[in-house]
Structure 1
Amino acid sequence: MTTLKLTTWNVNSLNVRLPQVIQWLQANPVDVLCLQELKIPDERFPIEALQEIGYQAVWAGQKTYNGVALISRTQGYDVQRNIPDFDDHQQRIIAATYDTSAGPVRVISAYCPNGQDLESDKYTYKLAWFEALYQWLSTEIQKYPHLAILGDYNIAPTDADVHDPAKWQNVVLVSEPERAALNKLLSLGLHDAYRLFEQNGSPFTWWDYRRFAFRRDAGLRIDHALLSDSLKEFCVACEIDREPRTWEQPSDHTPVTAVLQLP
């Protein structure tokens, strides 16, 4: 058996948090780290610094906003940037395939739109983006049965993933159309790795910088690792690492890792 560890982390500016990413990888040498919100253009991606600690990467950068990457111990191939046939200048998807003892595994890093508020054009865009993602994944999962899509989904799946459901009622990130969009992805044969196991402690992965939200544990679980049917059978754990959120000048998100035992 071999262990495959897949992690997602919205770093909210790789330029600011590269030292934290390197520190975390050295302490937690996962196989693939899916990053979101790089907020740097392609030419400023710090590939040399990552190669110095034994990692490769593929990325889709964007100045100031968005941006995604796959940082991996081995080089990925069949790289796809963004959703095919969906006209979008925002860099939100990067996919690559990795050879493993169980065969090729397709890994996707996704930075899903926030939506801003229910009356915003950005909310309309969010729902359209999720529909395009669904259409693409419906073919992608046929081509790559071993598929994992990890990222910041900007959706808390249920009230159990919200610190105060009454406060968040009819608010972006928890609205019924958003949850329906996420459930539609799951209908393709994808599984929320965190909910495969009985969990102890706080489930949250994001805490607002304001109002001492982390100190009060007033958070949401919006960062997810979704695994295809075949990968679900290999998954033995899904862990939220809260420690980076305690560091100085942290991201408002923290890493989530799915652990798989492959034959």
Structure 2
Amino acid sequence: MMKLVTWNVNSIRQRCDHVLDYLTREQPDVLALQEIKCATDIFPADTFTQAGYDCTVVGQKSYNGVAILSRQPFEVTHTGLPGWETDPPQARYVEIGTGRLVVGNLYLPNGNSGGSAGYDSKLAFMEALALHARSMLEAGQDFVLMGDYNVCPTDEDYAAGALPPTDALVRPESRAAFRRLLWLGLTDALRALHPTGRFYTFWDYQAAAWQRNSGLRIDHALLSPRVAERLLTALPARDERGKAQPSDHVPLAITLAAGAAA
């Protein structure tokens, strides 16, 4: 069995102990982190190496940033999303190969800041992601694309009143871009096992969102066809949000039957 987890930690320096505690308890094979909010050279890699995890980091001072921690041997295949570039650069994608499985870790732009250009950048990222997924599918590659997509795919994926209809996370264009990934043949891991129900991965720090359970499902794991056949479980670790000084996101964990990385 292989366990893969995605988690937007909203500052690794503030949440390092939380991540280390999670690794110790849950022992994932791969942990994909987003919004680490630090330059690569100050990421606490030594802390995680001592816990048995090698790291690859694409950092950025104060903003964005992605990292992958793995107990399995891996090679880095991309340190940015092919076909998506910004000026100045934004650290929003890193990808590894472990065994015969590719794991892409993404932090998709929110799209609510920067006016129309900011939203266009979000859609451009999703277009590039779809093209990259299609190229891997055509090559027969097994892969998982996981991370903070900043998209609520349906109305069931956010609490009533949590977002206005004009929010970039629920705009028709955002949802259509997410559906395009599914129409390529990818599987939304959580919805494959839990077709209905409210499973949130994010609760804002404001307006007592956690206490009122006014959440969003915006962290996703999308699986290529052969990987989806091995899917066993997919659930957010909701209890993480109730801890002291938590991230506003919680881990989303999936498990795959043996063979997905063979």
Q: TM-score range by the shorter chain?
A: over 0.9
What is the distance in 2 between the residues matched to 1:199 and 1:157?
A: 12
Deviations 1:116-148 (A, max 9, x none): 169532111111111122122211233352100
Structure 1 residue 248: Cα displacement: 0.9
Q: 1:4, 1:260 within 8 Å by CA — same for their partners in 2?
A: yes
Structure 1 residue 202: Cα displacement: 3.9
What is the aligned partner in structure 2 of residue 38 from structure 1?
36
What is the aligned partner in structure 2 of residue 195 from structure 1?
191
What is the aligned partner in structure 1 of residue 10 from structure 2?
12
Whichever residue aligns with residue 91 of structure 1, its letter is: A
What is the distance in 2 between the residues matched to 1:20 and 1:166?
A: 26
Structure 1 segments unaligned to the other structure (5+ residues): none
What is the distance in 2 between the residues matched to 1:5 and 1:138?
A: 24
Query: Which of 230-239 and 161-170 deviates more?
Result: 161-170
- Provide the TM-score with structure 2 as the length reference: 0.93
The answer to whether the aligner puts 1:237 opposite 2:233 as a matched pair is yes
Query: Which of 133-142 and 231-240 deviates more?
Result: 133-142
> Which secondary structure state, in structure 1, belongs to the residue aligned with residue 91 of structure 2?
coil
The answer to whether the aligner puts 1:134 opposite 2:130 as a matched pair is yes
- Correspondence for 1:147 among 143, 147, 151: 143
**How has the CA–CA distance of structure 1 residues 200 and 182 changed in structure 2, closer, same or farther, with 3 Å as cutoff?**
closer
Structure 2 segments unaligned to the other structure (5+ residues): none
Q: 2:156, 2:198 within 8 Å by CA — same for their partners in 1?
A: no
What is the aligned partner in structure 2 of residue 80 from structure 1?
78
What is the aligned partner in structure 2 of residue 220 from structure 1?
216
What is the distance in 1 between the residues matched to 2:200 and 2:78?
A: 30
What is the distance in 2 between the residues matched to 1:223 and 1:213?
A: 17
What is the aligned partner in structure 1 of residue 257 from structure 2?
261
> Which secondary structure state, in structure 2, belongs to the residue aligned with residue 249 of structure 1?
coil
What is the aligned partner in structure 2 of residue 93 from structure 1?
93
Q: 1:58, 1:76 within 8 Å by CA — same for their partners in 2?
A: no
Q: 1:42, 1:60 within 8 Å by CA — same for their partners in 2?
A: yes
Whichever residue aligns with residue 224 of structure 1, its letter is: H
What is the aligned partner in structure 2 of residue 181 from structure 1?
177
Whichever residue aligns with residue 97 of structure 1, its letter is: G
Q: Quote the sequence identity (%).
A: 38
What is the distance in 2 between the residues matched to 1:96 and 1:55?
A: 14
Deviations 1:18-55 (A, max 9, x none): 11000011001011001000111011111110011111
Q: 1:190, 1:229 within 8 Å by CA — same for their partners in 2?
A: yes
Whichever residue aligns with residue 97 of structure 2, its letter is: T
Structure 1 residue 189: Cα displacement: 1.4
**How has the CA–CA distance of structure 1 residues 171 and 25 changed in structure 2, closer, same or farther, with 3 Å as cutoff?**
same
Alignment size in residue pairs:
257
Structure 1 residue 75: Cα displacement: 2.7
Query: Which of 28-37 and 190-199 deviates more?
Result: 190-199
